[in-house]
């Protein structure tokens, strides 16, 4: 689940309606089944549950990336933020309050990741980002920072290029978060190509054996597989901190951070996404390994490669007179705010343009989305 909305009064309802046309999944939890049914009748996925009980919320909603709390009553908002934080310690919690909210807003601010009012210009931006990969990356970073000691980033047994590059990539991300890490594997690297990959790129990999003393590690991350003791040499009861994988799981996965996307072609793709969101430039060796990981696991981009679903906006020369035609006008003015109907059509230095009313001009009616954001850095 990308986004969970807790408590849905009239304020919450207006937020939910603003969220409905955004990409990603959305679930609304309310106290009474009767109100859930009213929302479902309006086409909103809603369920009735005791929203004061974090365990019940978690059971019904499962894993979520972001929780949005928007209740008319600030007191209730405070309670829901508490429930959200307890149910989902790593989720991004966004609280929306009225501009003239009275009472204990400090308590809301203390536990939510962001508090906005619905007149705040950043609200639309944050609603867009809730459920977005940038937030997932921020949660990964939070878990990495809390590792006490050296993180063992463990690839699966006899690792293939995707597992090797992902382990080296996650080690790099951990180090950027201030956590020491080692890229590890059990078994052997047998294939000549894989040996050449490790040797030519001078990867520093640690070969663990059943005799290895694991107590020297402060945490464990699994890449390109998801369960300790299954396709790696770790004890099955290893307390796993992080799982990053693209294989469909055969059993529930337990870890403090789990990013398991079976519709993605390689684990290297997921690692590249984090590097991108964190603005970490991989060195040539890491970039080469990750590219090789993507290539081999996707059979040279022919397998599990997402189809392009959005249509770029028309260029300013071909669109209507509403689009700015003068080159100097096409530059982004500092301080200009984007709204959901004004999306910058390019991030390329000289060519930053605005294409107003993109969705209206787009032949398919889908809103063009900028491929990456610079939020959460």
Binding site for Mn ion (CB under 5 A): 162, 224, 266-267, 297
Residue nearer to Mn ion on the CB measure, 231 or 343: 231
Minimum CB separation of residue 159 from Mn ion in Å reads 9
Which is it for the CA torsion 313, 317, 320, 321, positive or negative? positive
- In order, the DSSP letters of 95-106 are EEE-TT--S-HH
Please report how close the Cβ of residue 244 comes to Mn ion at its closest, in angstroms.
Answer: 10
Q: How far is CA 89 from the centre of its chain?
A: 15
Quote the least distance from Cβ 345 to Mn ion, whole Å: 34
**CB-based burial, 35-67: b 16+ in 10 Å, e otherwise:** ebeebeeeebebebbebeebeebbebbeebbbb
In the complex with Mn ion, which residue's Cβ is closer, 147 or 189?
189
Q: How far is the CB of 61 from Mn ion (least distance, A)?
A: 29
Whose Cβ is closer to Mn ion: residue 241's or residue 297's? 297
CB-based closest residue to Mn ion: 162
Complex with Mn ion: residue 267 or 316, whichever CB lies closer: 267
Residue 35 tokens read as 């109100």
- Taking the complex as a whole, the smallest distance from the CB of residue 189 to Mn ion amounts, in Å, to 15
Structure tokens at 354: 């605005």
Taking the complex as a whole, the smallest distance from the CB of residue 297 to Mn ion amounts, in Å, to 4
Closer residue to Mn ion (CB): 266 or 316: 266
* Spatial separation of the C-alpha atoms in residues 344 and 140, rounded to whole Å: 28
Query: Which of 23, 65, 25 minimizes the C-alpha distance to 310?
Result: 23
CA 272 to CA 294: how far, in whole Å? Answer: 10
Angle CA 325–315–19, to nearest 5: 110
2 or 162: CB nearest Mn ion: 162
């Amino acid at each position: 689940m990308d986004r969970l909305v807790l408590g849905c009064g009239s304020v919450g309802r207006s937020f939910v309606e603003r969220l409905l046309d955004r990409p990603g999944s959305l679930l609304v939890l309310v106290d009474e089944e009767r109100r859930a049914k009213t929302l479902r009748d309006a086409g909103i996925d809603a369920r009735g549950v005791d929203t004061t009980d974090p365990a019940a919320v978690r059971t019904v909603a499962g894993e979520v990336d972001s929780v949005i709390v928007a209740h008319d009553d600030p007191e209730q908002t405070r309670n829901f933020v508490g429930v959200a934080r307890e149910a989902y310690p790593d989720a991004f919690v966004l609280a929306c309050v009225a501009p003239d909210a009275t009472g204990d807003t400090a308590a809301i601010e203390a536990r939510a990741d962001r508090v906005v009012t619905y007149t705040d210009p950043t609200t639309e931006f944050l609603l867009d980002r809730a459920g977005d990969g940038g937030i997932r990356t921020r949660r990964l970073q939070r878990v990495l920072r809390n590792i006490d000691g050296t993180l063992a980033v463990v690839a699966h047994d006899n690792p293939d290029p995707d597992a090797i590059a992902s382990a080296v990539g996650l080690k790099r991300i951990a180090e950027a978060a201030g956590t020491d890490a080692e890229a590890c594997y059990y078994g052997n690297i047998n294939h000549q190509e894989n040996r050449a990959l490790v040797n030519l790129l001078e990867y520093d990999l640690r070969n663990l054996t059943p005799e290895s003393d694991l107590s020297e590690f402060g945490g464990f991350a699994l890449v390109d597989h998801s369960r300790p003791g299954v396709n790696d040499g770790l004890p099955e009861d290893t307390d796993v901190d992080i799982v990053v994988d693209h294989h469909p799981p055969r059993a529930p996965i337990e870890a403090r951070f789990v990013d398991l996307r079976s519709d993605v072609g390689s684990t290297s793709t997921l690692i590249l996404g984090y590097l991108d969101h964190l603005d970490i430039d991989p060195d040539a060796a890491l970039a080469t390994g990750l590219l090789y990981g993507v290539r081999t696991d996707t059979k040279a981009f022919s397998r599990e490669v997402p189809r392009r679903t959005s249509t770029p906006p028309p260029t300013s020369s071909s669109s209507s007179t509403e689009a700015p035609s003068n080159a100097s006008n096409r530059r982004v003015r500092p301080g200009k705010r984007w709204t959901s109907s004004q999306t910058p059509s390019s991030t390329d230095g000289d060519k930053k343009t605005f294409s107003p009313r993109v969705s209206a001009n787009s032949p398919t009616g889908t809103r063009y989305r900028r491929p990456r954001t610079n939020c959460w850095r």
